[in-house]
Structure 1
Amino acid sequence: MVVPPWLSVPPPGYGGLEQVVAGLVDALVGRGHTVTLFGAGPHHGTRGSYVTTCPDIQYDRLGESLPELAHLAQVRHLIGPADFDVVHDHTTIGPLVAGRRAVPTVATVHGNPVGEYGIVLSDTDRGVGLVAISHTQRRLNQVLPWVGTVHNALDVVDVPHKTEPGRGPVLWLARFSPDKGPDLAIRACRAAGLPLILAGKCNEPAERRYYEQVVAPMVDEDVTVVLNADRDAALRMLVDARCLIMPIQWDEPFGMVILEAMATGTPVVALNRGAVPELVLPGVTGLVCGRPDDLPDALRQAGGLDPAACVAHVAENFSTPRMALGYEAAYRDFLSAGAPAAAGRPVSVAAR
């Protein structure tokens, strides 16, 4: 299992990819597989073995290409067919360089496969199979070498949840970006007459600039701002919240915060973009709106939804064991189809 060098697994705060990988590693180990996680930094919190390619996580260099390339170059020298049956890559550049590996690679696409990222993915080596994290994401670029679609997951056992509807403020929990619609969240909550907490990641230059120039001037006494909350603080806010508001302005391929909210028993009010319709059960675990003008009424209605139904929806449809089964099927389908790097040797996905 190969992750980017930016954050530890699981992450201390923001980091949906790393959170998903931590759950996947543990679930695969629980099913009897031998899993080795390749990352950066000295620490990890999974049940798998761990190999670090760099003594420090590289978050301060996020956005540069060389840290990830150096990480992947070292990974290539550390894996071989005598030790591994399949490589599962979660990096951005991985699909381009995986053809040099002696072991077949399945790569999860964590972003939208269009634009510049789509160009990169279109040059994916023929020895790599791509996995989508939602049907919406896969439809955006259907010509890529997809080998499966597996939804992200969350283990509800590890998430505190409520048994009665939350009476706290509406919560917006994301990074400060126009794509995430914090300005729409403020307007919708004011129109609904409900207080709002804006809990945002705000440590990259673009995030700070957007917050200072667009969001901060809109903040008044009805809006509480919490910057860069860690995971424990975020979960406490989710448990207390009346609902989570997701007024996204882009085709988000998944949205882990939606699962986190429902796992705490908190319903989700979201605009109908990206994978939202695949995650939220309208009228049961939240409300999906076609226009920003529909958000205020939905925010008022969300307070009456049953927290237990939200938790059950995640447990039944987005559990880490279910995700592990999905990836097992993707591995087997890819290898049985004759992945080039696997030619001439027996194939097994079972633990050694």
Structure 2
Amino acid sequence: MKITFYHHVPLPVKKYGGTERILFWHMKELARLGHEVTFLGHPNSEVENYGIKLIPLEGEFLRDRWQEKIPNDTEVVHLQYQPSFDIEKPLICTVHGNGQVGESFHKNSVFVSKAHANNHNSDIFVHNALDFDEYPEPENISNKGRDHLLFLAKASWRVKNLSHCKNVAKKTKKHLHIIGGKSFSLSRLIHNHGFVGGQEKLDIIRSCDALVFPVRWPEPFGIAMTESMSQGLPIFGSQHGSLPEVIGEAGKACANYEEFFDAVANFDCSLSPKQIREYCLDKFAINTYSEKYLELYDRVIKGQSLSIEEPRYLLKDRAETLLSF
């Protein structure tokens, strides 16, 4: 199959960029499977060693006129956003975030969790995934403790609910390690690591024993959860958005703060760290992700629309409106 992708950021990214990392892993997996993968992107991208053909875009073509560079023999174009113009080739658009109130989307939009799709009047979704080559099993997976909690999100974003994480850490006398910014605290239990990536980020994840993720918004997916589970960490979070379907038995999706406190205090998880990693491998590996997208590519190449009607954001309030917890 001949598949063309576009993105304006150099790939692979060096630190942050969940969308960009998943895009790169997917392209790499498709090339490994023998498909002809073309990437229209930043000239500093380093993808050709992975079997991906790079068409470098410069000047106005990088942002505004990239579609003019789509190869004529392309069978399907896969984008990570909604284009404002028509593309003559069969098209699929992955939706990574929440829409605005009443916003409509392309009929061939694919969401990143069942809950995310349902919130946009759709049933088309593919769970985000990891390339487990970049998340090898840690040596300490059979020797995890219960004293170190991880917060892995943008600390300044209220919907990620750092405040409840700090409260629980202090009351349970557990250490809280914050990746994704900094938060002022005089407590010796709160550790700010700022914005880190690569091996440094992985080492911090491995040094922790559980991810706390009590989000207060309709979380589309939450790659922080899969990153943490890949290293054997249970997830203690809220029940908003994708969390119940992603967490499964690998932790607890809590209805309120009281349940969240008890789950963290008692480490309420039926799976061992090794079983958590196996659960993550089974559900969120990049090969499964790519196989599911190949099925969707085949449908749109045959002229089918993934949705009968345009998906539309159904919630009455903006996604950033704080939900109860």
Query: 2 CA distance for matches of 1:309 and 1:236?
Result: 20
Match of 2:172 among 171, 181, 192: 192
Amino acid in the other structure paired with 2:67: R
Deviation at 1:338, TM superposition (A): 4.5
Query: 2 CA distance for matches of 1:72 and 1:274?
Result: 32
Structure 1: 4+ residue segments shifted above 4 A: none
Query: 2 CA distance for matches of 1:243 and 1:165?
Result: 13
Amino acid in the other structure paired with 2:196: A
Deviation at 1:107, TM superposition (A): 0.4
Q: 1:263: which partner in 2?
A: 230
Q: 2:65: which partner in 1?
A: 74
Encode CA deviations 1:10-44: one digit per residue, 9 max, x unaligned.
Answer: 32222110111111111111211011122225023
Q: 2:308: which partner in 1?
A: none
1:104 aligns with 2:82: no
Encode CA deviations 1:163-187: one digit per residue, 9 max, x unaligned.
Answer: 2243362110111210111111101
Query: 1 CA distance for matches of 2:304 and 2:135?
Result: 40
> For the Cα contact (< 8 Å) 1:242–1:302, is it kept in 2?
no
Amino acid in the other structure paired with 1:287: K
Q: 2:275: which partner in 1?
A: 309
Encode CA deviations 1:114-150: one digit per residue, 9 max, x unaligned.
Answer: 42xx52x34x4xxx611111110111121x6x7x311
Q: 2:5: which partner in 1?
A: 2
> For the Cα contact (< 8 Å) 2:251–2:268, is it kept in 1?
no
| Percent of aligned positions that are identical | 21
SS of equivalent residue, structure 2 residue 27: helix
Match of 1:88 among 75, 78, 89: 78
Query: 2 CA distance for matches of 1:220 and 1:261?
Result: 24
Encode CA deviations 1:289-336: one digit per residue, 9 max, x unaligned.
Answer: 111222222123338741111111111111111111110111111222
Q: 2:317: which partner in 1?
A: none
Distance 1:3 1:196, change over 3 A: farther
Matched length:
295
> For the Cα contact (< 8 Å) 1:189–1:296, is it kept in 2?
no
Q: How is 1:212-291 mapped onto 2 (pairs within 5 angstroms)?
A: 215-216=183-184, 218-282=185-249, 285-291=250-256
Deviates more, 1:161-170 or 1:272-281: 161-170
Structure 2: tracts of 5 or more residues without a match: 306-325
Deviation at 1:269, TM superposition (A): 1.0
TM-score (norm 2): 0.83
Query: 1 CA distance for matches of 2:39 and 2:278?
Result: 30
Structure 1: tracts of 5 or more residues without a match: 56-66, 203-210, 340-352
Distance 1:244 1:54, change over 3 A: farther
Query: 1 CA distance for matches of 2:143 and 2:159?
Result: 28
Query: 2 CA distance for matches of 1:185 and 1:52?
Result: 44
Query: 1 CA distance for matches of 2:186 and 2:291?
Result: 45
Amino acid in the other structure paired with 2:179: A
Q: How is 1:167-206 mapped onto 2 (pairs within 5 angstroms)?
A: 167=145, 169-176=148-155, 177-200=157-180, 202=181
> For the Cα contact (< 8 Å) 2:151–2:165, is it kept in 1?
yes
Query: 1 CA distance for matches of 2:115 and 2:66?
Result: 31
Distance 1:235 1:140, change over 3 A: same
Q: 1:139: which partner in 2?
A: 118
Encode CA deviations 1:251-289: one digit per residue, 9 max, x unaligned.
Answer: 11001111111111111111111101111123xx21211
Q: 2:321: which partner in 1?
A: none
TM-score (norm 1): 0.77
Query: 1 CA distance for matches of 2:164 and 2:46?
Result: 37
